[in-house]
Structure formats: C-alpha cells, structure tokens
Chains A and B, each alone.
Chain A
Amino acid sequence: MELYQQAVLLGIAMGFLARLYMLRTDYRQYPTYPHGRVIHLALGFIAACLGAVAVPSFAEKNFTAVTFLTLAAQQFRDVRNMEREMLSKLDRDELVPRGSAYIEGIAMVFEGRNYLVIFTALLVSLFTYMFNFWYGIVAGIGCLLLDRLWMSGQSVGHIAHVEEAPVHFKGPLLYVGDIVIMNVGLEANRQLIAEKALGFVLTPKNEDARITLSHLGQRQAILHDATTILGVYRDAGTPAFVPMAKLDLENGRVGLFLLPQEKDVDKAMRLIRRVPVLEGAVRRPTQASVNRTS
C-alpha cells in the first residue's frame, strides 16, 4: 500500500477506535439509545477522517486542505448545541432533573471527545507517515491512554466525605443530621418520609470543595444521579417527596435528603462518591492571588 493510504487508513481506524472507546454508556449519560450511539459514532468517524487526512495534505503542500480543520471545529460546536438542546428538552420530563450545569457538562464532553478523536487520528497518521505502520499503532495506543486520562475528572468522593445521617423531625421541620431540609405539614407524609427516606451529610474536604459543593448545579447533579440508580418515591405533583440538598451555612456541609425506591445505604454512599464534579461548578478561591499569603 502507498504510504499516504497507510497513514490515512490507520489514522481513521485509530481515531474511530478512540471514539468507540470513549463512547461509554453508563447510568448517568446519554447516549443510552441506539440511535444516539449511531450519531456519535458517525460524527466520530468524520472527525477521524479530518484528523487523518491533515498530515498527507500538509506533506503535499496542500495548505488549503489543512484549513478545513477549522470547519471541523465549527461542526463539532454544533454537536455541543445539539446535545444541550436535546438534554434540556428531555430534562423537562424528568422527575428529578439533571439541571443545566450538568447538561452543559455533558455537552462539553461530547464536543471535547471529538477533538480528542481528531488529535488521535492526526498523531497516528503523522507517525505512520514519518516512521512506519508500527509506530503509528504505538502512537495510537499511547493516544488512547492519554484520552482516558483527559476523559476522567474528579468525583464527589475526592472533594467531600460522605456519611449517613439520621432523617428525623422536630415538630414539622425535617432534618438530616442537624441540617434543616424543609417543613412538612401533613402527618401522613412525615410517617412516610420517616419510614422510607435516606439522609447523608457531605462534608467538604477543603475551602475549594466547600464552594464547589454549594453550587446548585452540583447538588442537583448529585440528586439526579442518586435517583437514576436508586429510583425516587414520587410522582409529578408531589412536592413533599422531592429529594433535596440543603446547605449548612456555618460550615458548608450539605445535607442530602433522598426518597429512594430501593433503600440501600451502602449503594447510595458509593454512588454519591462517584458523582462527577461538574466543570462548571469547580471553584478554586485558594488559588486566587488575594488568598495567597506570600
């Protein structure tokens, strides 16, 4: 096979493989649907093609072809818009919505992964072109590992301690540990909550974590993930059973009130720790110059 063909084909193959590898379907993210998957694989293939042909066109001094990469950037920004729009629409029908911060995070990830695919394909075809086939494969595997590294962010378990806390009432006030959640007026609801509810307290590990945890979108993401797995004991129009996360203003702890279908404390703790920290919620005030004493 000709060198260019080799480089392009291997680049496309590796890029596509990278997209496949990064398209993990789990509980918290779309694409859970077969067609959603097809859309993303197709776009990943296009991204891989774009990345792979860049090197040969550069080698042929065909610089206009390289500028097509800018077109690609535009294309993949649309991917982000598409994701955002679709998830926002779906969110209206959720009993416990994802919240816009979570949706924004997911949409960003979809865009970012396409760029990683371009990068992978580009590097593979570059290595194949400069050295040989085998170097291309090695570069591809290296890229997959790198993609994996870039893909993973922090999770709530990294920034906060999660502990179970008793759910109890003082008069009409519902508490998780010592954090007030809400006022429940009806005796029947109080009994049901006392019987079925789970309570957790998240204690931030440092000042940065405290502000991240106080972000409403972050708290909504925790509630959404928890209810996707454990279910939620409510229907539309039962505001008394809405899971909630309230802040203790004194020390930044978060009281988490859940009404799961499945009352499994251990599982709940594990999954709360695994909720991703949203990029839009991360704050690092300790890095600000005013907070650094020299």
Chain B
Amino acid sequence: MASLEKTILAVITTQRERVGGGVPIFYVKPEEVQRIGAHLEAILDAMVHELQEGLYIVVKHA
C-alpha cells in the first residue's frame, strides 16, 4: 500500500466562507496569520504554504 508522504494537517484562513471539509480550520484575522502559522509550524513539525492571499495550509512532509 502506498503511504501518504504529505498530509494537510490544518488550514489557516482569513475568509471563513472559502474553506471547508474534514481538516481543522483556523479562522484568524489577517494580522494573526503569521503568528498562528509560526506556532502551528513549530508544534506540528510541519510547514506553512501560502496558496493565495489569506489562505494557508499546514503540510507535514514525511
């Protein structure tokens, strides 16, 4: 069985209506994005990627 190499652990967004699904979603103010992102990165040993302005995913790279 193929193992998952990358997993989306969380989504950080400033626009609540644009994301949904089975992943933890952090709905934050624009000025909080970087701080929350840094915390999640450190806690989860993962990396924050920017998809577009105000929409970020936290990805675990195996």
Q: When the two chains form their complex, are residues B50 and A236 in contact, meaning their CB atoms are under 8 A apart?
A: no
> Does A172 touch B at the CB level, under 8 Å?
yes
Query: Is A153 an interface residue when CB atoms closer than 8 A count as contact?
Result: no
Contact between B49 and A187, CB atoms less than 8 A apart: no
Q: How far is the CB of A206 from chain B (nearest CB, A)?
A: 33
A187-215 interface bits toward B, Cβ cutoff 8 Å, 1 = contact, 0 = none: 11100000000000000000000000000
Q: Tell me which of A171, A185, A236, A242 contacts B48 (CB under 8 A).
A: A185
Query: In the complex, A184 Cα to B46 Cα: how many Å?
Result: 12
Contact A239 B50 (CB under 8 A): no
Q: Are B49 and A172 within 8 A (Cβ)? A: yes
Bound-state Cα–Cα, A171 to B55, Å: 13
Closest residue to B58 on the A side, CB-wise?
A185
Tell me, rounded to whole Å, the shortest Cβ–Cβ distance linking A7 to chain B. Answer: 57
Contact of A187 among B34, B45, B46 (CB under 8 A): B34
> Do A188 and B47 have beta carbons less than 8 Å apart?
no
Instruction: Report yes or no: B49 in contact with A184, Cβ–Cβ below 8 A.
Output: yes
Q: Identify which of B41, B57, B60, B61 contacts A186 (C-beta below 8 A).
A: B41
Contact B45–A185 (Cβ < 8 Å): no
Task: Let me know if A146 is at the binding interface, CB within 8 A.
Answer: no
Q: Looking at the assembled complex, report how far the CB atom of B38 sits from the nearest CB atom of chain A, in whole angstroms.
A: 6
CB contacts between A and B, total, < 8 Å? 39
Of the four ranges (under 10, 10 to 19, 20 to 34, 35 or more), the interface on chain A belongs to 10 to 19
Chain A residues with Cβ under 8 A from B47's Cβ?
Answer: 184-185, 239-240
Cross-chain contact A172 with B50 (CB below 8 angstroms):
yes
Min Cβ gap A197→B in Å is: 15
Q: In this assembly, does A237 line the interface, its C-beta being within 8 Å of a C-beta of chain B? A: yes
Chain B residues with CB under 8 A of A187: 34
With a 10 A CB-CB cut-off, give which of A171, A187, A242 has the most chain B CB atoms: A187
Q: Is the CB of B46 within 8 A of A185?
A: no
CA A273 – CA B61 in complex, angstroms? 29
Question: Can you name the residue of chain A whose Cβ is closest to the Cβ of B59?
Answer: A239
Q: In the complex, A189→B60 CA distance in Å?
A: 16
Chain B CB within 8 A of A62 CB = no
A286 CB–B CB distance under 8 Å? no
Of A172, A185, A237, A242, most buried by chain B (CB within 10 Å of CB) is: A185
Residue-wise interface mask of B (20-62) relative to A, using a CB-CB cutoff of 8 A (1 in contact, 0 not): 0000000000000010011001100111111000001100110
B61 adjacent to A188 (CB under 8 Å): no
- Cα distance, A183 to B45, chains bound together (Å): 16
Least CB distance from A78 to B in Å reads 31
9 closest Cβ contacts across the A-B interface? A237-B45, A185-B48, A172-B50, A185-B50, A239-B47, A183-B49, A239-B61, A185-B49, A240-B47
B interface residue numbers (CB < 8 A to A):
34, 37-38, 41-42, 45-50, 56-57, 60-61
A-B contact list, 26 entries, CB within 8 Å: A172-B49, A184-B47, A184-B48, A184-B49, A184-B50, A185-B37, A185-B48, A185-B50, A185-B56, A185-B57, A186-B37, A186-B38, A186-B41, A187-B34, A188-B38, A237-B42, A237-B45, A238-B41, A238-B45, A239-B45, A239-B46, A239-B47, A239-B61, A240-B41, A240-B47, A240-B48
